[in-house]
Structure 1
């Protein structure tokens, strides 16, 4: 019963619906006592040869009326109880989704997508079943069983009732034992389903890679192993579940045997009439449902218990990044100052950034370059406050970013990450993701700035073209430019392009950068790149190596230093000339 105790907060919230539903079930239980009584009275009247057509018509009318009332009441309790269960399902799904949006990146790095989806689908459905069918089964079995036992004991014969119920303790022990087995096995089955769900999601997202490496058969074999594991674990649950009905039927059958045997003896002794014995056996038949319901209840509760534990475990995880109590409710603006003594990712031992010091005036452009793994993306993520800096501080407008509310802080940024995520929607809807109310003219202006407008017009439906999941129908360069347009549309105080020009050609890159400089006056821009031409015009450039600043300055200053930046810039320029055939002509 612990699952009902844990859900008590919701039962109190929906007390009106549950209260009316339970009262309706109680009325149903009482009304269902009438048909056996009517049958007993008719049997005794037939035996005494006193049944008249008028009296028979009266009993038949009352039975018909009872059936109609029961029909209406059963409809009402279904609406009340099942409706409350479905509202709980919606509430928990919304809570879980909202919780996902608050959790920090580290949580999603440690959790599989398929597992999180399984929590939001199968587990929530099992909890809904507990709040709907579970409550129904509990209340109905108690009311019906209690009413039937009370009627048999006090209105027919208490000794016959006692004898008939002798096998019941055995059933209570058996169903409790089965319930414990189901709890353990169902938990394992849900974990196996999560693993399968994750595998499907992963393979569908990476289907092009699988095909490119010819790993279709290997992935099919792996999927077959997972499906077999899910099947075996669910069969293990079903094997226990299958024991409920035979066990209950056997015990109830033994109760019938005792009732008929001892009841016949009482009839012979003239202690009860044949009509009362008939009435008693019908009532005993009514006990079959409460007994079966009790077994079903154990099954439902244990499934709900296992699923609620899994969901509650997720909801108990607190986000790493939260608002301070005195957080400022304003969008940050102004100069940026980054002073980081050291930053280490949670769970890591070596710092990813060390001794970072840079000041950027509002409206300037900062370029960040360096080898893969040098800390460029980490720098950007700290600005967005995906992680907090414990040794150092980041200030915008002279105020630490930890003093701003997260919602306000992130409104100041337009972020174009390395992994360009597009939704399964139209191109216009993808560009307007940050401003759903944007006009078509504003969307097209942002697309022109990102040099993607002409490409979009070539699509069959233009801006109304629906892209595939994650933008699989587009090229890498097109996805990058649509992502840039999405960021430009919100006209952010700070625009971060995290290696977001890598998939476009040099000519397109130059056009995009010129558009940014012309249209982002008094707006700060941060560009990380491997191709140094992307940061050549920046007001300040950082060269990172192993999380430290190796060089910094303007393009001219860095070229004059003759260090890594100058060497890499010349090399990339040479590669560009070779690609265009320039070197061969120059040497001729």
Structure 2
């Protein structure tokens, strides 16, 4: 139960509702106890009338009164049961809401390394399925636990006070029922977990098939995919059947033990009546009702144990992530003003997950308002520089300064608000094109959105769609071509109008003519803004104030286009090669 202590703060938050729910639950269960005693009284009235100890009119009067009491108590019990669910179950939903928000907020604080180490499906499962299991503990388990405890405390003493021997025999099957239900629930839980895990496997398989359907069709793999799916489906069916076979024992077992308890009540009670130990058949009727009232709570003990076990296991998984500390910590609470000067001092960086050293003792300075192009072969460390400027990672060695202030002494939110980043692999959400562009500035006007799209040379493409800017994109922007996705991402950054632009090879999927148009627009839009452009094309670097050439994580060349093109080296060779390709 130690893992579930995390929920104590939520129980404290909603303690008034919980106390009210506890009171209502006890009242509802106590009202239930009215029926058995008055059923007994009603039978005794009939016995007295049969024995001619009271007249028919007196018997009718008593029976009418007792029926009214039974019906009234049942109605009141129903009302209080409704109120019980409205308090305790609602509290569990509030706790579920708060816990999901806590987990999601923590997810957003965690660094990129965390997401590299954990699968998206697992992250989603912990915030959905695991939180749902915890809710069962905070709601139904709590409610039924109080319900069961109240009935035990009230009914068992009454039974022993009424007929001790009959009570002892009557209660014998109930602990057996509880143990059996517990064991069955445990097996059901184990097999349910297996089924859920397998459903996850099946979902992952189908999701990948749908995402890669173009590749499957291109290679004519449909028959093989169908075969693989059939194998998974059959295996899933077998696991589900294993679960169904165990589930089939649950209610028949309950009915059997309820029947055994009722038989014991009738047999033992009948013998006691014949022996004169019990003076009324009403006691047997009363005990039968008590047995049926206790059966479900007794069965629930095993179920509750299973719920608590699952909740504890789920909360442990949730706590594992909640205890993860973000590598990038925002220790500066005051907002920081950013103008855009960037300085790298002997910066080295090694990726923790792969242990690849991406940067090795890099030093350079970019003055605010400068445009800098970064070129180099794949894996030379170009994108890493942009990630470090946005402080998506912290350096392994050396120091980065923004406006002559160490980057760790800047407010992280202020820094990232001052950055407009366009990644190489443009990510668009399943929303309208307009809203995707507005991610750069939520309160932007329609005119601002259109102007940003024009600057990114994507306006005409958008207008070509039947719904224009209201066109809803498919998953990850699949509706658009690679070049269109990149340009929408550029429009998003331009709309933000930040102090620092970071363009990570974001023109790789557009033709040279469109690239030239975008670069000219970028030059106007990013005037007096610090701009870093990562590219494989020299055309992106020609108009830059400075060019950085990287090789194997080291700074190979630095200077303007004219300076580097006048020196023998990588840049001159690349420029000559691309110029020759363009002429051909």
TM-score range, shorter chain: over 0.9
What CA distance in whole angstroms lies between the structure 1 residues aligned with 2:346 and 2:245? 59
Match in the other structure for 1:95: 102
In structure 2, the residue corresponding to 1:501 is in which secondary structure? Answer: coil
Residue 20 of structure 1 aligns with which residue? 20
> 2:487 matched to 1:486?
no
Match of 2:172 among 148, 166, 169: 166
Question: 2:176 matched to 1:144?
Answer: no
Q: CA deviation at 1:483?
A: 0.5
The equivalences for 1:83-482 within 5 A come to 83-154=90-161, 156-182=162-188, 184-227=190-233, 232-233=238-239, 235-236=241-242, 239-272=245-278, 273-324=280-331, 326=332, 328-482=334-488
Q: Does 1:81 align with 2:127?
A: no
Distance 2:203 2:2 in 1: 29
Deviation at 1:114, TM superposition (A): 2.2
1:516 — aligned with what? 522
SS of 1:48's partner is helix
5+ residue gaps, structure 2: none
CA contact (8 A) 1:86 1:128 kept: yes
In structure 2, the CA distance between the partners of 1:179 and 1:302, relative to structure 1 (3 Å rule), is farther
Mean CA deviation greater in 304-313 or 132-141: 304-313
2:77 alignment partner in structure 1: 70
Separation in structure 1 between the aligned mates of residue 12 and residue 549 of structure 2, nearest angstrom: 60
* Residues 549 and 555, structure 2, Cα contact 8 Å, conserved in 1: yes
Of 75-84 and 464-473, more deviation after overlay is shown by 464-473
Residues 386-406 of structure 1 show CA distances to partners (whole Å, capped at 9, x for unaligned) of 111131111110011111122
Change over 3 Å in CA distance of 1:228–1:117 after alignment to 2: farther
Is 1:55 the equivalent of 2:80?
no
CA distance in 2, matches of 1:341, 1:430: 34
> Does the CA contact (< 8 Å) of 2:546 and 2:560 recur in 1?
yes
Count of residue pairs brought into register by the alignment: 576
Structure 2 counterparts to residues 525-536 of structure 1, below 5 A: 525-536=531-542
Moved more, 220-229 or 78-87: 220-229
**Structure 1, residues 417-475: CA drift from partner, whole Å, max 9, x if none?**
01111112221111111211101111111112111122222221222222222211111
Query: Partners in 2 of 1:315 and 1:214 — Cα distance?
Result: 45
SS at match of 2:566: helix
Contact kept, 8 Å, 2:113 with 2:353, in 1: the verdict is no
SS of the residue corresponding to residue 335 of structure 2 reads coil
**In 2, Cα distance between equivalents of 1:134 and 1:239:** 25
Superposed CA deviations along residues 101-124 of structure 1, whole A, max 9, x for unmatched, are 122112222222222222222222
Q: Distance in 2 between matches of 1:428 and 1:557?
A: 42
Q: Secondary structure at the residue paired with 2:439? A: coil
- Quote the Cα distance in structure 1 between the aligned partners of 2:265 and 2:238: 41
Aligned to 1:586: none
3-state SS of paired residue (1:415): strand
1:76 deviates by 0.8
- Structure 2 distance, partners of 1:211, 1:86, is 45
CA distance 1:305–1:445, change in 2 (3 Å): same
**Quick check: 1:26–1:140 contact (8 Å CA) kept in 2?**
yes
Larger mean CA deviation between 522-531 and 2-11 belongs to: 2-11
CA distance in 2 between partners of 1:515 and 1:238 (Å): 64
Q: 1:120 to 1:224 in 2, by over 3 A?
A: farther
Q: Distance in 2 between matches of 1:213 and 1:339?
A: 50
- From the superposition, tell whether residues 113 and 219 of structure 1 become closer, same or farther in structure 2 (CA, over 3 Å): farther
Structure 2 residue matching 1:394: 3-state secondary structure? strand
Retained in 2: the 8 A contact 1:334–1:396? yes
Identify the range of structure 1 (505-514 vs 492-501) with the bigger mean alpha-carbon deviation.
505-514
Q: Please identify, of 392-401 and 510-519, the stretch whose mean Cα deviation from structure 2 is larger.
A: 510-519
Larger displacement relative to structure 2 (433-442 or 53-62): 53-62
Shift of 1:491: 0.6
**Compared with structure 1, are the counterparts of its residues 349 and 482 closer, same or farther at alpha carbon in structure 2 (3 Å cutoff)?**
closer
Deviation track 1:258-284 (CA, whole Å, cap 9, x = no partner) reads 322221222122222211122112211
CA gap of 1:197–1:108, structure 2 versus 1, over 3 A, is farther
Contact 1:495 1:525 in 2 (8 A): yes
Structure 1 stretch displaced more, 50-59 or 552-561: 50-59
Does structure 2 retain, via aligned residues, the 8 Å contact 1:115–1:198?
A: no
C-alpha distance in 1, partners of 2:283/2:105?
Answer: 60
Q: Secondary structure at the match of 1:40?
A: helix
In the aligned structure 1, how far is the partner of 2:12 from the partner of 2:79? 26
- Judged with a 3 Å threshold, the aligned counterparts in structure 2 of structure 1 residues 451 and 193 are, in CA distance, closer, same or farther, namely same
- Deviation at 1:497? 0.6
CA distance in 2, matches of 1:281, 1:435: 69
Q: CA deviation at 1:192?
A: 3.7
Structure 1: which 5+ residue stretches go unaligned?
Answer: 579-588
TM-score by length of 1: 0.92
Q: Alpha carbons of 1:332 and 1:240: their partners in 2 closer, same or farther (altered >3 Å)?
A: farther
2:565 corresponds to: 559
**What is the root-mean-square deviation of aligned Cα atoms in Å?**
2.3
